[in-house]
Amino acid sequence: MVLNFFIIIYYLLSNPVGLEQYSSVIDNQNQKIIADSLSYPSYETLNQSSNINEQLIFNSTPNLKIDDSPFASPLIESGLVFEKAFAYRSEEDSTEDKIQLIGLTAKAQAIQFRIQVNKSVDDSTFLIINSLEKGTDLINPGWILDYNIIRGPTLPNGASKDEVIVLIYHINQNGGLDPGDYFNLIKVNYEVAEFEDLQDSVKSSFKITHAQASTSQGTPVDITPSRDEFKIIIPGIIPEFGLIFEEDTIYRWEDDSYTDKMKLVNLEFKAQALQFRLLVNNSADDNVILSFMNIEKGADLSDPSWILAYNVFRGPLTGNGASVDEILVLLWNLSLDNGLLPGDYNELLKVKYGVANLPALQDSVKSSIKISNAEASTFEGFPINVTPSRDELTVIVRNRIGLYGDVNGDGCLDILDIIMIVDHIVGRDSLEVEQFIRADIAPWITGHIEPDSDGLVNVQDLSLLQNIILLGEYPNGNSINNCSITDSSEFRGNNGSKITLYINENGITAYSNSDVDLRGVQIEFGNVSDDPESIIITTDLGQAYYLKVNELLRVLLYDRQGIKVINSGERLLADIPFRISNPESITVEKVILIDINRHRVMDDEIEIELIYGDPPFIPGDYILFQNYPNPFNPVTTIRYTIPDDCRILLKVYDVLGNEITTLVDEVKNRGIYSVNFGSAEISSGIYFYQLFATSVSSGKIFTETKKMVLIK
């Protein structure tokens, strides 16, 4: 009997058909697959009590088959296309999406096309198109946009199956679009209808048809879309039962490996054995980008009597190393009547897979791992229902080089990307096309999956990118890539640098010693328990920005005018005054230096020295530090350094320019000094302190003024 049992196991794992018919058939000669398309549920199965006509609103066409090759490489964008292949939206949401024209080969005087709304065979009817507008590429008033919306019968939710006929033309005979790429041609404004008790994800689309263009002489220009459909998905609330993945949809970075958990929820009877199949890259709209690696027992199967066996049937490998795979899995317990008791198991199995490398600028690419043929049985052989309530793990792969805000395409969001936007804004340098696309991230509404880019790169994008880096996450809640740069000639600076950090109870002081001038600095400190509230950081780079998230303090130093630098040699980098209760606990997590040539000094070229104590005086700089504390009451401390013997005059003024007091009026030797200023006889308000330093030997004059606030 035991022998027969293991013969059955061998048969299940070695026979590609097994006991049930495959849901897909692989033709090895043609390298094609015929698979069930991605199935979106009809509303009838989601809300039995709805008074809406489900057959009109929601597609329920069963067993739609698509004969297409999933082994093909991802398409290169060309022609008239929507900016995105798909997007997640919320019900009752109003938004806009862009239509682009990529790879125009001749000067186009006129363009015509149609947009089909809610009309694909697997569409549900919930999109309501409102209007079309000219994008920034058609800002010339000579461009005319005409369109006509032919609406189908309106359903109770306000949506209908529509067709939009669009014509764009230039009234000037010599006007038109020159050959090239246009990333903001037309804006489509639409809204999403309301749902009642939506339980599962539903899909609809905008589809471009009849796309044509012509020159002023009437010669046709090919603008056929490389992808003609823009899919809109409304995520639902999906009940959990049966054999499912822990997550419904998950974002992953390219060129890496990951592990996701499988759960068994609401098991009704004691299960002795379980079998199922995993289909990788196998749904109709999947890109072939995932590579199954292995499956392991989870914490719920720690008992060694549980045996896990599986067999992998791989399809032909694509150029990125991925393939369309099917994995047969069998799980059983060797001990008689020793199975899984009724209940929930949140870490039953762990599935490990790799993600392929994506081409540059190809982002948000979708694939999936799907559970099929899930069955379980008791020790006596009675079947147990473990059918998944949701059978697919949707994997959205993000491009490290195509990241929002990763202007230079090095896979990291950091101070270098900020400086590149600064140079573009002030006119020092212009961003290339791909850099411009990655820099155009504003506006971006908090909670939205993607930005609503406006086709401009300006201070709005600069401020948003700065906030993203300081927060460590995008407005959609996704964490930015916590990468580290390896050796690369493209980003290598000419020389190394030494950064010395002095940490004491009064704050952090950073000095640099470099052979090159520095334009930007990013430093991140760990284990910072104290809150550095309302501090003003002193730096010769002009401006300093900081934010503390949990116990991580991020500091950015750069000049928004793109002018100021930290000169080579031994210099003060920054003085960060705030009260630190336990200086020895603070660590340095990251240091990024950008030199005058806009090169990143590589990590292995930066020497970092961390000293817990007071900073020494380093000659070479006249520095007037920000007073601390600030605001203050009743006393604050003002520090300054002088590199030569100087005549020092340090005075305090009110906002009207009236002199309040003289704090120092004497000759001082080179060094670092501090003086206290009390507030007993003055009222609350804003005051200014000004340093005049005249070198005794050279006659050089240094002067600087800073602001302080008294609050009583």
For residue range 145-197, list pLDDT tens digits in order: 999 999 999 998 899 999 999 999 988 877 899 999 999 999 999 999 887 66
> For residue 23, is pLDDT > 50?
no
Q: What is the pLDDT of residue 90?
A: 78
How far apart are alpha carbons 124 and 232 in whole angstroms?
Answer: 10
Instruction: Pull the structure tokens for residue 424.
Output: 């573009």
Query: What integer is the mean pLDDT of 355-384?
Result: 88
Q: What is the CATH number of domain 497-612?
A: 2.60.40.680
One of 3.40.640.10, 2.30.110.10, 3.40.50.1220, 2.60.40.680 is the CATH number of 79-234, namely 2.60.40.680
Give the tens place of pLDDT for each residue, 435-450.
888 899 999 988 887 7
> For residue 68, is pLDDT > 60?
no
Task: Give 631's Cβ-side CA count (13 Å radius).
Answer: 8
What's at 584, amino acid-wise?
E
Which residues have CB under 8 Å from 453's CB, separation 6+?
Answer: 98, 184, 440, 441, 442
Instruction: Pull the structure tokens for residue 392.
Output: 């697919």
Helix (H) or strand (E) holding 698: none
Query: What integer is the mean pLDDT of 329-354?
Result: 94
Q: Where in the chain is the domain with CATH 2.60.40.680?
A: 79-234, 238-398, 497-612
Q: What is the pLDDT of residue 237?
A: 59
CATH architecture under which domain 238-398 falls: Sandwich (2.60)
Confidence of residue 308 (pLDDT cuts 50, 70, 90): very high
How far apart are alpha carbons 592 and 681 in whole angstroms?
Answer: 45
**Block residue for tokens 């190394």:** 496
How far apart are alpha carbons 671 and 92 in whole angstroms?
Answer: 65
Query: What integer is the mean pLDDT of 70-94?
Result: 72
Task: Give 569's Cβ-side CA count (13 Å radius).
Answer: 7
Give the tens place of pLDDT for each residue, 464-477.
999 999 988 888 88
Q: What is the mean pLDDT of the chain?
A: 82
Query: What integer is the mean pLDDT of 277-288?
Result: 93
> For residue 413, is pLDDT > 50?
yes
Instruction: Pull the structure tokens for residue 82.
Output: 């929507």
How far apart are alpha carbons 345 and 366 in whole angstroms?
Answer: 28
How far apart are alpha carbons 228 and 208 in whole angstroms?
Answer: 5
How many beta carbons lie within 10 A of that of residue 447, not counting itself?
A: 9
Weakest-pLDDT range from 35-49, 384-398, 565-579, 677-691: 35-49
> For residue 61, is pLDDT > 90?
no
Give the tens place of pLDDT for each residue, 256-281.
899 999 999 999 999 999 999 999 99
DSSP string, 86-145: EEE--TT-EEEEEEEEEEE-S-BSEEEEEEEES-STT--S-EEEEEEEE-GGG-STTEEE
Helix (H) or strand (E) holding 524: strand 518-526
How far apart are alpha carbons 506 and 309 in whole angstroms?
Answer: 61
How far apart are alpha carbons 659 and 285 in whole angstroms?
Answer: 74
Structure-derived torsion over alpha carbons of residues 66, 40, 204, 358, reported in degrees to the nearest 10: -60
Q: Which of 437, 409, 401 is nearest to 100 (CA)?
A: 437
Residue 6's SS3 state is: helix
Give the neighbor-by-neighbor strand order of the sheet with 127-134. Answer: 79-82, 94-104, 180-192, 127-134
Under a CB-based contact definition with an 8 Å cutoff, are residues 530 and 629 in contact? Answer: no
HEC string of 353-419 equals EEECCCCCCCCCEEEEEEEEEEEEECCCCCEECCCCCCCEEEEEEECCCCCCCCCCCCCCCCHHHHH
How far apart are alpha carbons 42 and 59 in whole angstroms?
Answer: 6
Under a CB-based contact definition with an 8 Å cutoff, are residues 588 and 523 in contact? Answer: yes
> For residue 360, is pLDDT > 70?
no
Task: Give 374's Cβ-side CA count (13 Å radius).
Answer: 25
Under a CB-based contact definition with an 8 Å cutoff, are residues 46 and 196 in contact? Answer: no
Q: What is the pLDDT of residue 402?
A: 59
How far apart are alpha carbons 338 and 273 in whole angstroms?
Answer: 10
411: left (phi over 0), alpha (psi -120 to 50) or beta: left
**Fold designation for 623-710:** Immunoglobulin-like (2.60.40)
Under a CB-based contact definition with an 8 Å cutoff, are residues 412 and 490 in contact? Answer: no
> For residue 100, is pLDDT > 50?
yes
Q: What is the pLDDT of residue 603?
A: 67
Q: Where in the chain is the domain with CATH 2.60.40.1220?
A: 623-710
> For residue 650, is pLDDT > 50?
yes
CA 651 to chain centre: 49
Query: What integer is the mean pLDDT of 371-387?
Result: 94
Query: What integer is the mean pLDDT of 310-330?
Result: 95
Q: What is the pLDDT of residue 504?
A: 92
How far apart are alpha carbons 414 and 411 in whole angstroms?
Answer: 10
Exposure string of 491-507, with b = 16+ CB inside 10 Å and e = fewer, is bebeebbebbbbbeebb
Exposure string of 257-276, with b = 16+ CB inside 10 Å and e = fewer, is eeebbbbbbebebbbbbbbb
Q: What is the pLDDT of residue 562?
A: 87
Give the neighbor-by-neighbor strand order of the sheet with 623-624. Answer: 623-624, 635-642, 671-678
How far apart are alpha carbons 392 and 46 in whole angstroms?
Answer: 17
Query: What integer is the mean pLDDT of 619-631?
Result: 83
DSSP state of 29: T
pLDDT above 90 coverage of the chain, percent: 49
Instruction: Pull the structure tokens for residue 123.
Output: 């569409």
Weakest-pLDDT range from 477-481, 644-648, 668-672: 477-481
Q: Is the preceding omega at residue 359 within 30 degrees of 0, hence cis?
A: no
Q: What is the pLDDT of residue 533?
A: 78
Instruction: Pull the structure tokens for residue 359.
Output: 């081409």
Residue 455's SS3 state is: coil
Residues in the chain: 712
Instruction: Pull the structure tokens for residue 314.
Output: 């791989």
Query: What integer is the mean pLDDT of 30-56?
Result: 29
Helix (H) or strand (E) holding 286: none
**229-234 and 86-88 beta bridge pairing:** parallel
Q: What is the pLDDT of residue 489?
A: 33
Confidence of residue 1 (pLDDT cuts 50, 70, 90): very low
Query: What integer is the mean pLDDT of 75-99?
Result: 83
DSSP state of 475: T
How far apart are alpha carbons 249 and 236 in whole angstroms?
Answer: 11
Under a CB-based contact definition with an 8 Å cutoff, are residues 386 and 371 in contact? Answer: no
**Block residue for tokens 């189908």:** 152
DSSP string, 61-92: -TT-EEEE-TTSPPPPP-EEEES-SEEE--TT
Under a CB-based contact definition with an 8 Å cutoff, are residues 462 and 415 in contact? Answer: no
Confidence of residue 697 (pLDDT cuts 50, 70, 90): confident
> For residue 71, is pLDDT > 50?
no
Task: Give 698's Cβ-side CA count (13 Å radius).
Answer: 8
How far apart are alpha carbons 188 and 356 in whole angstroms?
Answer: 33
